């Protein structure tokens, strides 16, 4: 990574805490941060010791206020599409599809891309002072990282329209009321609350937890084909016929399948 401090990963036993580490800029996302978020997802997927992930922002001023306007405002239209929007979609989708459960600790404002990033989590815990918004229309742009897609699946089109078409901010109580967040922590304790949830998840059977997450995602219309193929492949690989098929291939003879 060019600057490992932009996305910080700390592992405590079976829980990995991933922190957006740009507090002086309210954790606004840059291309480098997107690249490091993608690398973090790959690292977490490959680490068999991790059973749950907490995603949070550094400092006490914000979770993430979205994309850094200074980074994308000068891009040409095609670069905006290829370098910024398409890349962000790919990386956020990868986080949403992470086999490990993700708990977001929303310690402050989650605006625009920050709210879209929080939406990739499976469980969201927010500080009482956290606020939420989709302000893109106020700067003549549109939600670009699935604010009009994943958020609709999460809270429904009416609530997303209320946010995106007005640009207004809502507080944690309102966010809880519409299902945008799952829990409001004690003041200044969103990280501790999120870690407690992740630690509870980590005590459960990891394969069952990860399969259950994939099933729920599939029921929501996300990755259904891949989930079915993965589970069918895993099931068929455990059968007597699968062992017979491999043996017949090695022994260069016809296979004798029994449907078991």
Q: What residues are annotated to the active site?
A: 116, 136
| DSSP helix/strand/coil, 120 | coil
> Sheet holding 170-171: strands in order across?
110-111, 131-133, 170-171
- The distance between the two most distant Cα atoms of the chain, rounded to a whole number of Å, is 69
Q: Nearest-5° angle of CA 86, CA 90, CA 93?
A: 135
CA 113, CA 90: separation in Å to the nearest integer? Answer: 13
User: What does DSSP say about strands 123-126 and 102-106: parallel, antiparallel, or unpaired?
Assistant: parallel
CA 146, CA 117: separation in Å to the nearest integer? Answer: 9
- Cβ distance 122 to 213 under 8 Å? yes
β-partners of residue 8 are: 19
Q: Nearest-5° angle of CA 113, CA 114, CA 120?
A: 90
CA 20, CA 7: separation in Å to the nearest integer? Answer: 5
| DSSP helix/strand/coil, 106 | strand
CA 243, CA 122: separation in Å to the nearest integer? Answer: 37
Q: CA nearest 86: which of 102, 103, 72?
A: 72
């Amino acid at each position: 990574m060019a600057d490992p401090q932009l996305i910080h990963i700390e592992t405590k036993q079976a829980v990995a805490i991933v922190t957006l580490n740009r507090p002086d800029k309210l954790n606004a996302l840059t291309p480098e941060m997107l690249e490091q978020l993608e690398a973090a997802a790959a690292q977490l997927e490959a680490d068999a010791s991790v059973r749950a992930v907490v995603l949070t922002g550094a400092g006490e001023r914000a979770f993430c206020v979205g994309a850094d306007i200074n980074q994308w405002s000068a891009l040409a239209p095609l670069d905006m599409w290829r370098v910024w929007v398409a890349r962000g979609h790919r990386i956020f989708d990868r986080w949403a599809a992470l086999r490990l459960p993700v708990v977001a600790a929303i310690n402050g404002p989650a605006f625009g891309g920050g709210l879209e990033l929080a939406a990739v989590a499976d469980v969201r815990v927010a500080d009482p002072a956290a606020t939420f918004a989709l302000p893109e229309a106020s700067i003549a742009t549109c939600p670009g990282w699935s604010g009009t897609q994943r958020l609709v699946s999460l809270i429904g089109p009416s609530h997303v329209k209320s946010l995106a078409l007005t640009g207004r901010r809502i507080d944690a109580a309102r966010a809880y009321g519409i299902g945008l967040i799952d829990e409001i922590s004690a003041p200044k304790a969103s990280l501790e609350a999120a870690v407690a949830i992740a630690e509870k998840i980590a005590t459960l059977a990891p394969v069952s937890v990860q399969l259950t997450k994939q099933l729920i995602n599939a029921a929501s219309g996300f990755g259904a084909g891949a989930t079915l193929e993965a589970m069918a492949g895993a099931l068929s690989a455990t059968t007597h016929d699968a062992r017979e098929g491999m043996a017949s291939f090695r022994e260069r003879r016809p296979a004798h399948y029994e449907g078991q």
